[in-house]
A and B are shown apart, each in its own frame.
Chain A
Amino acid sequence: MIIATVTALYILFGGGSGWWATEIKALEKSVKAIEMSEPAREEALEVVDYMSDLSSVRTDQSKAVSKELEKLLESYDGDSASIARQLKFYREDTRAFYSQMVQARFQLKENFTAEQWEALFPAAED
């Protein structure tokens, strides 16, 4: 149902995995390029990999939710309680995803000095 599809589309605006995917790609490039000790670089890249995995899982979850939501919205006799429940789950999942990514970001930061961290970002915006 086109209207169900459009509705579900806009509801899922807040998923966020696309933004992180781009950030992770840029971070990986920067971590490989900047001056730092090799053990620290290896640890940092492990965290970057972990973040990439989280982002991929999130993309798959968003797809699954979108399928379920579209199904509910398609129904002419749709159950509003089920829709509300699905939305609540989706919001909670989104919240959890961002928290995991932020935790990973702080874990990543432990491998860098303030100067090194600053150097990561100009490169990331090339």
Chain B
Amino acid sequence: MQRLLLLLVAAGLLVSAGCSGRKSADEIDAVKSDSFDELRIAVGETVADADRQAIVVSQINEMEAMFVEGKSVQLAFLDELHELHRNYYSTPEQFEALIDATNAEFLVIEKRLVAINRAIVAATTAEEYESLGKLRLNAFESSVAAQETLDAANREAQ
């Protein structure tokens, strides 16, 4: 599971890594979208009653929306960062302003994500939460494999 996290973090970072990485990262995003579908199905099979299932699924929907929003913020940031970087006359203040503004946006997204996670905890029993943790989701595994290749290529390039 830890490997999964690390590789998917790299996937997120690579989304805007440049022309050579963008197509592959988009393909991985499609797999991630499938992963959310798998997760929703798993919740239906794991959480005992319908009301709590609905709460957990709605939180997962929210999490997916946050993913889309986070990606959009990240892409806009990296595009602007690249423009400043290539402009010989950009000032340090321009960079600082961009970084501060984006950091503030990410902070809001992060807090919402933690709230979503805690809402899922609140809507499940300890046993259900633990059972969800033991799931092996095929789409996640596929995205790990795909990302592993990208990550290795990126490290080699470095």
Residues of A within 8 A of B (CB): 1-19, 21-26, 52, 55-56, 62-63, 66-67, 70, 73-74, 76, 78, 80, 83-84, 87, 91, 94-95, 98-99, 102-103, 105-106, 109, 112, 114, 117-118, 120-121, 125
Contacts and interface: CB of A to CB of B under 8 A. Distances in A.
B117 interface: yes
A91 B108 CA distance: 11
A30 B84 CA distance: 18
B133 A21 contact: no
B106 A91 contact: yes
A62 B130 CA distance: 25
Interface residues of B, number: 66
A94 B123 CA distance: 32
B1 A23 contact: no
A6 B4 CA distance: 9
B14 interface: yes
A69 to B, nearest CB: 9
Given A1-B132, A102-B92, A15 B9 contact: yes
A13 B29 CA distance: 13
A94 B103 contact: yes
Main DSSP-derived SS at the B contact region: helix
Contact of B67 (A10, A18, A66): A10
B108 to A, nearest CB: 11
Given A19-B17, A84-B114, A10 B96 contact: no
Counting from the closest, the 6 A-B pairs by CB-CB distance are A18-B13, A1-B133, A22-B18, A117-B88, A14-B106, A114-B88
A72 to B, nearest CB: 9
Nearest to B78: A19
A91 B81 contact: no
Contacts, number: 165
Given A18-B17, A91-B103, A9 B114 contact: no
Contacts of B50: none
Contacts of B106: 13-14, 91, 94
Contacts of B89: 114
Contacts of A95: 99-100, 103
A63 B6 contact: yes
Nearest to A74: B133
B63 A6 contact: yes
Interface string B137-149: 1001000000000
